[in-house]
Structure 1
Amino acid sequence: MEQQILSVSQINAYIQSLMDQDGLLTGLAVRGEISNYKVYPSGHHYFTLKDEGGALKCVMFRGSAVKLKFRPENGMQVIAMGRITVYPRDGAYQLYCTAMALDGVGDLYAAFEQLKKKLSAQGLFAPEHKKPLPPYPGTIGIITSSAGAALHDMLRILRKRYPLTRVRLLPVRVQGAEAPREIAAAIAYADHYKLADLLIVGRGGGSIEDLWAFNDEQVARAIYHCSIPVISAVGHEPDFTISDFVADLRAATPSNAAELAVPDQDALRQTLDSATSAMASALWRQIQAARNHLKLLSDSPAMKSPEAYLEQRQKALAYLQARLVAAQEKGLSVAKQRFYTQAAKLEAMSPLKVLLRGYAMVQDDSQQVVRSVSQVKENDRISISVSDGTIQAVVTAAQEGTTYESGKHDL
């Protein structure tokens, strides 16, 4: 088999695709000590995480860095969250860090990673389990705190984008010891009574402790078993929770969830206007075609002078009828002549014609024609057919020899 030859870019792109599809390398948390920390004029942060066994290059882009709640420094023990992939230009892998926390909450991250690994192995994150969102949801259920700013943001966006949808609020606590049970119960309740076409489950941003209810196993399993499509909308864009991995769709923020849940009425109106315009154009073309066809009909001789047109058609029909009759008569005459000719030929070949000229046909008892004296013997009965009947006779003698000599007898 011929070995495939790849370019450096192809190799890097292939490795990048493998890493981007690896569930372990997306949404992970890495513990380590910061070193070589640099902030560039672009606002991007570059650093290395190290421990006693190795080092990992990291980058945090400006959009994520501005959300940091502390100033990273060399020597700090931190937990960095993000994904690992390849930078194609260098062919080097690195951690694309989206959030960072001091290592004081390391136990929570360890629990997060442990539960994530467990549920992933059980198939709760499987893409084939994801349900599509309804394109035009009639009712949206929102499971969140009734007092949070996230709810008001979602309601405002839903009313603006798609006022036709109804909103059903299922208020729950979103942090604290009772929050996971309430969230899971609300999901199960909405699913059991089919209260909505789509559910949004989430809350606004906060610390990892504030968001921890959405990392609870009972919440994850409630989302997984829900037959209604679920959008997870927890915290801000860098925040990842177990609920995000289980849900049918992850939204970066609650506001983004509202945008993803419904179509934009302005875009729908433009689509409807375009469709209406296209239908009007198609109808106008059909009307114009019908008008042109009607004009052709009205300009035709049949419409301008129907009597003259009818008389012309009648004359044409009479002419065709006359030609048809003449053709039939001619064909019949030719057929008759051909018949008479063939009949005359058949009559000329008839045995009766030969008999009328004085010849006879001799047959033995088995009705076989006697062509030679060797076919009969003395006392055989024979039949002699002449032109006007049959003679029954008995052979008295049968002698061989010609009955005439060539040139001495006339037929």
Structure 2
Amino acid sequence: MRQIPDTARVLTVSNINHYIKALITSDFHLSGVYVSGEISNFKIYHSGHAYFSLKDSGGLLKCVMFSSRAAGLQFVPKDGMKVLVYGDISVYERDGVYQLYAERMLPDGIGSLYMAYEALKQKLELEGLFDPARKRKLPKLPSCVGVVTSESGAVIRDIQNVIGRRFPTMNIKHIHVSVQGENASPEIVRALQYINRTKCCDVVIIGRGGGSIEDLWAFNEEATVRAVVACTVPIISAVGHETDYTLTDFAADLRAPTPSAAAELAVPILQELQDKIGQYRRKISVLPLTNCKIKQIELDRLKSSRYFTRPLERIEDERIALDQAATRLKEQMNRNVLQKQQKIEMLFTHLVALDPKAILKRGYSIVYNSNSAVVTAAQNVKNGEQIEIQTAKGRFTARREDKALDE
């Protein structure tokens, strides 16, 4: 055996299996895949897990479906049966085996329908046809309920019985349509278009009883779904059993688990409405008496008050209040006049202090030069220049004959 180089990278079996699992699980082509094939070696263990293989002419793929998924199978898988399985490809690391972890399994023909269902659902969902924001509220008290279903099935009888029990006088507009087969979808579309055009009812129940995916397929047709969306009258979808979901369920304004439940959602109970009306009538009949009683209490309170029994006291109280207000007004006016007088005297004192004549009375004088300009400095008067001197009690002229002392 050759020596292993020191730089060689040695991997364990677990390393290899873990790495391969990471590669496979990260490949989006192997996630959420549909695989068709023939069942081989199908077996369910006590744990509820189902183990089997899918094979075709070119190969074999091991599969496992855990108990939570296997319990929801709608048929019994058998060896040799052609099926369509949905799930993820991954690796069971302990054995180093890649396999399909199955989430759903359908017989091959039904599987094709299911794939078409999923594709159309995704398309319409992207268009916003299932957006909750576009759904309308049901009327609280419809005058007529439209029912779009077959005349021969139990659905129409169940709806009529429930509505008759809850609201015996309710009008029901039944429009017969086929609920399965090639003619079903076109007939349903025409019925909804008629209701939309005539506005013959205030709410519509569209539905049928339970069945296989093929039986319910008319309610998965694109034309049916678009007719439901286009109808301006609110629609309740009640197709199949509670576990059945059709595309009209998503498009309708409300989905009911059964036709009987749809009837309960469509109309209120008449007796309950009558009871409420009776309660309101009693409240209304009592209301005037209650108001009169309140007014009588207020009147009695006024009649027993001091002002009502002794009106002169109220006049005296008002006179006293008026005298007090007049006194306060007079005092305020006197305060305002005094404040104004004090302000005037202060301003007058400042004005007198700034009067030039008052300054002259204190012994000061103003000297003017020959140009009648005020002399502010001795050097501004020339020697021999005649000047005029203003005193507090008159003027006189003089002439400068000596040199300025501050020259």
Question: Structure 2 length normalisation: TM-score?
Answer: 0.65
Kept in 1, the 8 Å contact 2:384–2:400? The answer is: yes
Q: Matches of 1:366 and 1:271 in 2, distance apart? A: 111
In structure 2, give the amino acid aligned to 1:35: K
1:121 matches 2:85: no
Identity %: 28
Name the residue aligned to 1:90. none
Q: Please point out which of 58, 64, 72 is paired with 1:55.
A: 64
Name the residue aligned to 1:387. 392
Kept in 2, the 8 Å contact 1:46–1:60? The answer is: no
Name the residue aligned to 1:35. 43
Kept in 1, the 8 Å contact 2:38–2:80? The answer is: no
Alignment of 1:393-404 (within 5 A): 393=397, 395-401=399-405
Q: Matches of 1:175 and 1:128 in 2, distance apart? A: 27
Kept in 2, the 8 Å contact 1:198–1:230? The answer is: yes
Q: Matches of 1:322 and 1:260 in 2, distance apart? A: 77
Deviation at 1:123, TM superposition (A): 2.0
Kept in 1, the 8 Å contact 2:237–2:255? The answer is: yes
Alignment of 1:225-374 (within 5 A): 225-265=230-270, 297-298=302-303, 300-329=305-334, 331-333=336-338, 335-336=340-341, 339-340=344-345, 343=348, 346-347=351-352, 350-356=355-361, 359-364=364-369, 368-374=373-379
Per-residue CA deviation, residues 11-56 of structure 1 (Å, 9 max, x unaligned), is xxxxxxxxxxxxx99xxx9996863377xxxxxx956374433121
Kept in 1, the 8 Å contact 2:85–2:102? The answer is: no
Per-residue CA deviation, residues 374-394 of structure 1 (Å, 9 max, x unaligned), is 221145454422334544x46
Across the aligned residues of Structure 1 and Structure 2, the Cα RMSD in angstroms comes to 4.9
Per-residue CA deviation, residues 331-387 of structure 1 (Å, 9 max, x unaligned), is 534653664466356546643234346653212366653243222114545442233
> Which 10-residue stretch deviates more, 331-340 or 116-125?
331-340
Alignment of 1:87-236 (within 5 A): 103=107, 106-107=108-109, 109-124=110-125, 126=128, 127-128=130-131, 131-136=135-140, 137-162=142-167, 166-236=171-241
Q: Matches of 1:334 and 1:228 in 2, distance apart? A: 82
In structure 1, give the amino acid aligned to 2:121: S
Q: Which runs of 5+ in 1 are unaligned?
A: 1-23, 39-44, 85-92, 403-411
Per-residue CA deviation, residues 58-78 of structure 1 (Å, 9 max, x unaligned), is 45999x99xx8x9x5976959
**Aligned length in residues:** 349
SS state of the match for residue 194, structure 2?
A: helix
Q: Which runs of 5+ in 2 are unaligned?
A: 1-30, 55-60, 89-100
SS state of the match for residue 131, structure 2?
A: helix
Q: 1:79 to 1:263 in 2, by over 3 A?
A: farther
Kept in 2, the 8 Å contact 1:141–1:199? The answer is: yes
Question: Structure 1 length normalisation: TM-score?
Answer: 0.64
In structure 2, give the amino acid aligned to 1:119: L
Deviation at 1:171, TM superposition (A): 1.2
Q: 1:223 to 1:356 in 2, by over 3 A?
A: closer
Deviation at 1:233, TM superposition (A): 1.6
Kept in 1, the 8 Å contact 2:155–2:209? The answer is: yes
SS state of the match for residue 311, structure 1?
A: helix
In structure 2, give the amino acid aligned to 1:36: I
Q: Matches of 1:81 and 1:222 in 2, distance apart? A: 32
Q: 1:374 to 1:128 in 2, by over 3 A?
A: same
Q: 1:37 to 1:344 in 2, by over 3 A?
A: closer
In structure 1, give the amino acid aligned to 2:404: E
